[in-house]
């Protein structure tokens, strides 16, 4: 396994390219997108042009042919500037592409991977109104009829819902079998009986679309089953285990972005005749925040390296997401206070970082669920 802080030439190149892209292309649009609660369509296309939407997709399918760790580095860099675009590419890479690459057959690969790498935004549709932490209490059902499956039900809290062309949807083909009846389907926008419902208005990551999905006699061809009938729970669990590392990367990106802004401001803001960064109390505060961020980063990198090396990583992924989410909330809150009154206004970035950080403790497994996972693995 590679050392956590040793980057290969390819990893360093992608990290730097993502950093430049975030600063040059995303940063000028952040405030407007947050106000409009919508991603800039030109920016969506730019993500594909930069190769950031198919990092792990093999080159033969027009992807970058990169690694999982490279995806993590890119998500972190993008999220330093804007968490909405960070989760936009995170869901594409660590959930949708990841699941299609791992569980898709050659036909699925040939039909969908080039689209996901070049033009098609993906969404991951597991959650429902009655199945959040109890992820497999699904009520969306599938019935096989000839060469099609008929899906009925709804999904909630679906990231990228408005932008997506391809949706990885989980439905129960055999409710009597419980979670062993769950099957994963690739649903395409425009399929009969499928519609994207209302967009949620949220506290943070406002430019990221979070929508409901509606299925009324939705017809999905049999060749769009991902994996096989009845193993959807495996697809979901194993994909989310890796996706949590992506959310950890998003959180350390948010924390670092907030810290960098607060650090710079502390050198500019003068009180009692000197910069507030010259006061020992502020210096100690900054030192503690920087240490927490670096600790969270090492946890995220460790989980990513373990996953990449084929080693067990479930406990480390849970720890990374739990701790990074906690650190992001603490750092962004401190950032608002360092900015003082200005931190409470939209004129400065502190309040947006603070709003964006909160979701880390909620989606892709709440902090309580991460603690439960950690404890279970420690005691097993």
> pLDDT digit string (tens) for 122-181?
999 999 998 877 877 899 999 999 999 999 999 999 999 999 999 999 999 999 999 999
Q: How far apart are CA 332 and CA 340, in angstroms?
A: 13
364 tagged catalytic = yes
Pairing of strands 225-226, 166-172: unpaired
> pLDDT grade, residue 1 (50/70/90)?
low
pLDDT average, residue stretch 41-53? 98
| pLDDT tens, position by position, 128-143 | 998 877 877 899 999 9
Residue 319: what pLDDT?
A: 98
**What confidence tens digit (pLDDT) does each residue in 13-45 have?**
999 999 999 999 999 999 999 999 999 999 999
CA atoms 307, 311, 312, 315: torsion sign: negative
Same fold, 123-230 and 233-379: no
Chain mean pLDDT for the chain:
96
Say yes or no to pLDDT of 3 above 70.
Answer: no
Strands 141-145 and 270-271: unpaired
Average pLDDT of the residues in 43-65 = 98
Domain 9-121: give its CATH code. Answer: 1.10.540.10
By CB atoms closer than 10 A (0-12, 13-18, 19+), residue 148 is: middle
Overall size of the chain counted in residues? 380
- CATH superfamily, domain at 233-379: Butyryl-CoA Dehydrogenase, subunit A, domain 3 (1.20.140.10)
Q: Which residue has the higher pLDDT, 319 or 3?
A: 319
Contact predicate 267/275, CB 8 Å: yes
pTM (predicted TM-score): 0.97
Write down the CATH superfamily of domain 123-230.
Answer: Butyryl-CoA Dehydrogenase, subunit A, domain 2 (2.40.110.10)
The one catalytic residue among 11, 163, 351, 364: 364
Give me the mean pLDDT over the 328-343 stretch: 98
pLDDT of 201 higher than 90 = yes
Q: What is the structure's pLDDT at 6?
A: 81
65 Cβ neighbours under 8 A, 6+ residues apart: 56, 57, 58, 59
Domain boundaries, the chain: 9-121, 123-230, 233-379
């Amino acid at each position: 396994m590679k050392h956590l802080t040793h980057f290969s030439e390819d990893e360093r190149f992608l990290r730097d390219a993502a950093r430049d892209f975030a600063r040059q292309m995303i940063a000028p649009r952040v405030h407007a997108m947050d106000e409009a609660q919508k991603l800039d369509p030109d920016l969506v296309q730019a993500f594909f042009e930069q190769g950031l939407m198919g990092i792990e997709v093999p080159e033969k399918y027009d992807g970058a042919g990169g690694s999982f760790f490279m995806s993590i580095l890119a998500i972190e860099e993008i999220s330093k500037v804007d968490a909405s675009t960070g989760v936009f590419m995170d869901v594409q890479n660590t959930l949708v592409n990841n699941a299609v690459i791992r569980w898709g057959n050659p036909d699925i690969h040939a039909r969908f991977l080039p689209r996901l790498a070049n033009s098609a935004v993906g969404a991951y549709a597991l959650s429902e109104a009655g199945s959040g932490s109890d992820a497999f209490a699904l009520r969306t059902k599938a019935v096989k009829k000839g060469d099609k499956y008929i899906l009925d039900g709804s999904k909630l809290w679906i990231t990228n819902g408005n932008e997506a062309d391809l949706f990885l949807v989980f439905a129960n083909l055999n409710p009597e079998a419980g979670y062993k009846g769950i099957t994963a389907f690739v649903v395409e926008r425009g399929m009969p009986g499928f519609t994207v419902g209302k967009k949620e208005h949220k506290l943070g990551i406002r430019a990221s679309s979070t929508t409901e999905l509606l299925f009324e006699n939705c017809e999905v061809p049999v060749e769009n089953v991902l994996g096989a009938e009845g193993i959807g729970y495996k697809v979901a669990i194993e994909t989310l285990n890796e996706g949590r590392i992506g959310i950890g990367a998003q959180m350390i990106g948010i924390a670092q972005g907030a810290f960098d802004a607060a650090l710079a401001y502390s050198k500019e803001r003068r009180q009692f005749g000197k910069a507030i960064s010259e006061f020992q109390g502020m210096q100690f505060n900054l030192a503690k925040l920087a240490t927490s961020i670096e600790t969270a980063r090492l946890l995220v990198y460790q989980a990513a390296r373990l996953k990449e090396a084929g080693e067990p990583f479930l406990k480390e992924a849970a720890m990374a997401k739990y701790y990074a989410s906690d650190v992001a909330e603490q750092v962004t809150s401190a950032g608002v206070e360092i900015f003082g009154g200005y931190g409470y206004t939209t004129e400065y970035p502190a309040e947006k970082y603070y709003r964006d950080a909160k979701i880390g403790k909620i989606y892709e497994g709440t902090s309580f669920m991460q603690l439960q996972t950690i404890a279970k693995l420690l005691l097993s």
